[in-house]
Amino acid sequence: MVRTHTVAAGETLPALALRFYGDADLSPLIATASGITGPDAIDIVEPGAVGVGQQLIIPDFTGHEVLPGDTLPELALRCYGDAGLSPLIATASGITESDVDVGRRLIIPELVRYKVVAGDTLPELALRYYGDASYSPLIATVNGIAEPDVIDIGQILVLFAGRSNGFGLSIVDRNENDPRMWYYRFQTSAIGWNPGVNVLLPDDYRTSGRAYPVLYLFHGGDQDFRAFDFLGIRELTAGKPIIVVMPDGGHAGWYSNPVSSFVGPRNWETFHIAQLLPWIDANFRTYAEYDGRAVAGFSMGGFGALKYMAKYYGHFASVSSHSGPASLRRDFGLVVHWANVSSAAADLAGGTIYGAPFWNQARVTADNPVERIDRYRNKRIFFVAGTSPDPINWFDSVNETQVLAGQREFRERLTAVGIPHEGHEAPGGHVFRPDMFAVDLDGIIARLRPAALV
């Protein structure tokens, strides 16, 4: 959902561009998105001037340096699929259409081209895309609609796009300069510090106009949201039509709302499911539905993926656990004890995920994959675990031995009730296996709704 702003006394477009973009020269972009003829067409300096109270749209954009042979119609066709939208690039860049010199910096507004269907109204579209039905006149102005109450079925509308606050999340840091890997850091009441998220886009996201399925990919213990970037996720997903969302989950957060914390809120389950998931659907071209989402993870993240699949049955169509534990109570509850001990030491200053010395038994059952087998029906299920951990490395040996035993127990229970699944046992210990992830990713994409124009 794009950012919006209501003009206050004393504000100017250059000052607003400096505030939102860090560059006062981007004021033509705000003017273009807001249906203003030009940055000098309004006077918002005097308290009684017409601009006070005016509604503005603050879209996101892509910067482009003109190369030999570039023309605005060609760029509009490449970026929007419509050469006729070249005037938007010109006005946002503060130039005429003929003023395209090699090396010039162009501003390409982020747009959504929307095809009107029966029942659509401009106020409803303004509410959906801008968060406020009263922004409908701006849609009418930009699209040259003389009678805002009348829009035709099949008509293509230009709507400005971007990413803004919402669902309990406030963006405190962001970087969208990379062609594919976009980064955000949020302030949220669910977490006592500001968690980060990497969003890895398909190669053609900026130019295709398509909606994509989403994979939520969770890191392991003592890692953070950057873990899979270090493990080669860009190369593993190159050319693949899927968005990959990789959020923080705490050093030992266990993808849970803990029973107790002595360092403030660490409610990772709330952050991921109630806040981040709807924020992604609101701010990217996704399918906000069951067949549009998969969840996967490594180690602690593999457990988180299995847990979220069972607890939020209607959210995900595919689940993958790469060396993630699947059984909490086996071996006298070894995994529960480890979750409690690791979270107390690394995240909660003595608090625990499941309670100590007495567990919250209802919480353990709700989170325990092997106790919720029926919740995995009609899902794509993928497992991998190592068969030969390093015997000299105590952590590797105990960890992957427990993981393998738990996954075998889970797979036996799935088989017993006739639930199909794909299980792999591979040489090695408690490590992420890029080759197995590549196999898994192809299966995920085959299961989910394919990328398509919306």
Residues with catalytic roles: 299, 396, 430
Element (H, E) at 409: helix 394-416
Three-state helix/strand/coil letters over 231-265: CCHHHHHCCCCCEEEEECCCCCCCCCCCCCCCCCC
C-alpha to C-alpha distance for 313 and 421, rounded to whole angstroms: 16
Nearest to residue 347, comparing CAs of 247, 230, 255, 274? Answer: 255
Classify 22 in phi/psi space as left (phi over 0), alpha (psi -120 to 50) or beta.
Answer: left
Helix axes 72-80, 86-93, angle to 10 degrees: 110
Query: Cα–chain-centroid distance for residue 87?
Result: 31
With H, G, I as helix, E, B as strand and everything else as coil, classify residue 153. Answer: coil
The tokens describing 341, both together, are 């001990």
CA distances from 138 to 9, 61, 115, 131, 135 (A): 21, 18, 17, 13, 6
**Which residues, 6+ apart, have CB-to-CB distance to 418 below 8 Å?**
none
Rg (CA), the chain: 25
Q: At what angle do helices 394-416 and 330-346 cross, to 10 degrees?
A: 130
User: Rounded to 5 degrees, what are φ and ψ at 174?
Assistant: -160, 155
Residue 246 backbone phi and psi in degrees, to 5: -125, 95
